[in-house]
């Protein structure tokens, strides 16, 4: 057994807990999880059945943690997990799983399959079987600070642009601000309007906020590849930044996995509860709306639909807020079939969009999303995740569908009236 395989198996043994044991013992091979997975429904290939993606993990469980399995192993009746096998499983665990969690939502015996995939990736990563594309993203995030090699000067250049365009100062390292706003590299490079939108919204709400020079990148490829050690390094930067600036709330950008990494995994990665709150920007907007701090004017009249990022709805519990916000600014908002809790993935989540060799499969799986779009025929698609957005844009282009994709935060900001002189003189809470 190679040293890396040994390490991988050791990690797999460590991640197996009572829920995983209970799940493996409950599976009756009914195959219903396949019906919930877009990689199965769009290809018809049974190897993409979610529970099958965990077969090596199941065998490690059986051989290490069950009496019968240990007996079988002793007398040589069981097959050990090999490097070749894990190599084959790379496609199943990464390329064809976006951690969307639909399988966990349908399993009749209640198995949280995506919980197991996330844990299995820890072993895959430790044994050196993670895809190169995500490895690169993690390494860049750990060494440079961003999966796309974005450094502070690039952020500062964007800040300058936004300040010029919107006439609103962008605070950096402002100690004691209420909110610390995080960004994703995708937003810094491709969707700079996000930062402008946040500035406009914060100004109207009269809230203090800041960016942090040592922690501006929210995305965490360590979570996607399944390496808790690296994920911890990335999260720790944000925790240090937030505690140094003494902010009350850290705002996750429009990015699904950044939210999961910070909101749900962060405290567990660093081994203690956070001293600050974590909210997705859409949650913050929902609160502002409820408190009457978000006032929009006018409506978009074109046909709009909302694509729910998986990590925000099924994996995050932010379901109603986007609908309330959409209705504030859209006259013609239509829901796709299965929208909300059971929405279908953009097909590029969970690190899948970073895997070059998985592109063909991803585009095939996108046909599920395409059918949802075809059902309502929208003029524009609104979403709240920069990764969903780029994946949707690229896939729509591939299928020659001319549907622009926009972020919900910037769409809300477009409907916020430019600041009146009176308001400028007396910002609330200043």
Q: Which of 129, 200, 314, 362 binds another protein (CB under 8 A)?
A: 314
Would you give the binding string for another protein spanning residues 55-74, x where CB under 8 A is met?
Answer: ----------xxxx------
Nearest approach, Cβ of residue 53 and another protein (Å): 12
**Given the complex with another protein, which of 66 and 190 has the nearer CB atom?**
66
52 lies in the site for another protein, by CB under 8 A: yes
Structure token digits, residue 69: 């399995």
- Nearest-angstrom CA–CA distance, 412 and 288: 12
Structure token digits, residue 409: 């935060």
- What does the DSSP 8-state code read for residue 217? B
**Given the complex with another protein, which of 168 and 270 has the nearer CB atom?**
270
Which range touches another protein (CB under 8 A), out of 32-40, 226-234, 238-246, 393-401? 32-40
Q: Please count the residues of the chain.
A: 430
Residues in 334-353 at the binding interface with another protein, rule: CB under 8 A: 338, 341-342
18 lies in the site for another protein, by CB under 8 A: yes
368 lies in the site for another protein, by CB under 8 A: no
Nearest approach, Cβ of residue 82 and another protein (Å): 19
- Nearest-angstrom CA–CA distance, 216 and 255: 13
380-383/249-252 β-pairing:
unpaired
Q: Which of 83, 85, 112, 379 binds another protein (CB under 8 A)?
A: 112
CB atoms within 10 A of CB 267: 15
Nearest approach, Cβ of residue 41 and another protein (Å): 8
Q: Which of 172, 174, 233, 267 binds another protein (CB under 8 A)?
A: 267
12 lies in the site for another protein, by CB under 8 A: no
77 lies in the site for another protein, by CB under 8 A: no
**Cα-trace Rg, the chain:** 22
**Given the complex with another protein, which of 67 and 425 has the nearer CB atom?**
67
CB atoms within 10 A of CB 364: 15
Please give the size of the binding site for another protein, defined by CB under 8 A.
60
31 lies in the site for another protein, by CB under 8 A: yes
Strand order in the sheet with 277-280: 209-210, 179-181, 249-252, 277-280
C-alpha dist (Å) from residue 416 to 198, 200, 424: 11, 8, 14
Block residue for tokens 């907007």: 285
Block residue for tokens 């003189």: 425
96 lies in the site for another protein, by CB under 8 A: no
299 lies in the site for another protein, by CB under 8 A: no
**Given the complex with another protein, which of 140 and 232 has the nearer CB atom?**
232
Of residues 37, 16, 35, the one with CA closest to residue 97: 37
Q: Which of 95, 96, 98, 111 binds another protein (CB under 8 A)?
A: 111
Cα 334 vs. chain centroid, distance in angstroms?
Answer: 24
Query: What three-state secondary structure class fits 254?
Result: coil
CB atoms within 10 A of CB 417: 12
Which range touches another protein (CB under 8 A), out of 74-82, 120-128, 259-267, 403-411? 259-267
271 lies in the site for another protein, by CB under 8 A: yes
17 lies in the site for another protein, by CB under 8 A: yes
Q: Which of 4, 7, 27, 371 binds another protein (CB under 8 A)?
A: 27
Of residues 214, 212, 235, 215, the one with CA closest to residue 223: 235
Q: 362 exposed, middle or buried (CB, 10 Å; 0-12, 13-18, 19+)?
A: buried
Q: Which of 4, 85, 90, 106 binds another protein (CB under 8 A)?
A: 106
Nearest approach, Cβ of residue 135 and another protein (Å): 26
Block residue for tokens 């990590």: 311
Q: Which of 1, 10, 26, 377 binds another protein (CB under 8 A)?
A: 26
Of residues 277, 240, 235, the one with CA closest to residue 257: 235
- Nearest-angstrom CA–CA distance, 414 and 124: 44
Nearest approach, Cβ of residue 263 and another protein (Å): 7
263 lies in the site for another protein, by CB under 8 A: yes
Of residues 184, 186, 181, 185, the one with CA closest to residue 170: 181
Q: Which of 46, 167, 176, 298 binds another protein (CB under 8 A)?
A: 46
Residues forming the site for another protein (CB under 8 A) = 16-23, 25-32, 34-36, 40, 44, 46-47, 49, 51-52, 65-68, 104-112, 115, 263-268, 271-274, 277-278, 313-317, 338, 341-342
């Amino acid at each position: 057994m190679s040293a890396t395989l040994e390490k991988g198996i050791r990690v797999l043994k460590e991640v197996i807990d009572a829920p995983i044991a209970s799940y493996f013992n409950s599976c009756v091979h009914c195959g219903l999880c396949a019906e919930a997975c877009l990689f199965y429904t769009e290809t018809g290939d049974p190897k993409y059945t979610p529970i099958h993606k965990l077969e090596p993990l199941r065998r490690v469980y059986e051989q290490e943690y069950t009496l019968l399995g240990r007996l079988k192993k002793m007398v040589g009746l069981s097959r050990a997990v090999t490097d070749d096998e894990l190599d084959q499983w790379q496609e199943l665990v990464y390329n064809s799983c976006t951690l969307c969690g639909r399988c966990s939502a349908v399993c009749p015996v209640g198995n949280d399959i995506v919980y197991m995939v996330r844990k299995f990736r820890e072993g895959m990563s430790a044994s050196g079987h993670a895809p190169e594309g995500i490895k690169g993203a993690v390494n860049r995030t750990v060494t440079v600070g961003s999966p796309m090699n974005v450094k502070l000067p690039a952020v500062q250049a964007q800040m300058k642009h936004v300040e010029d365009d919107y006439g609103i100062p962008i605070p950096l390292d402002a100690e004691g601000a209420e909110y610390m706003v995080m960004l994703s590299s995708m937003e810094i490079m491709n969707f700079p309007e996000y930062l402008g939108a946040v500035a406009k919204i914060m100004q109207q709400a009269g809230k203090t906020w800041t960016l942090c020079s040592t922690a501006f990148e929210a995305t965490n490829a360590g979570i996607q590849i399944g390496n808790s050690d690296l994920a911890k390094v990335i999260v720790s930067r944000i925790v240090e930044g937030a505690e140094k600036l003494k902010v009350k709330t850290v705002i996750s950008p429009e990015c699904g996995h950044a939210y999961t990494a910070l909101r749900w995994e962060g405290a567990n990665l660093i081994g203690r509860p956070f001293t600050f709150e974590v909210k997705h920007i859409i949650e913050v907007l929902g609160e502002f709306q409820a408190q009457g701090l978000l006032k929009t004017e006018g409506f978009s009249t074109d046909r709009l639909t909302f694509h729910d990022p998986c990590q925000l709805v099924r994996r995050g519990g932010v379901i109603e807020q986007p609908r309330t916000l959409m209705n504030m600014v859209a006259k013609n908002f239509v829901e796709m079939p299965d929208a909300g809790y059971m929405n279908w993935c953009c097909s590029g989540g969970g690190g899948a969009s970073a895997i070059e060799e998985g592109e063909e499969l991803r585009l095939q799986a996108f046909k599920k999303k395409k059918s949802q779009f075809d059902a309502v025929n929208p003029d524009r698609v609104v979403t709240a995740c920069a990764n969903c957005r780029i994946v949707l844009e690229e896939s729509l282009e591939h299928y020659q569908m001319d549907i622009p994709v926009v972020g919900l935060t910037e769409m809300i900001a477009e409907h916020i009236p430019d600041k009146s002189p009176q308001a400028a003189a007396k910002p609330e809470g200043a």
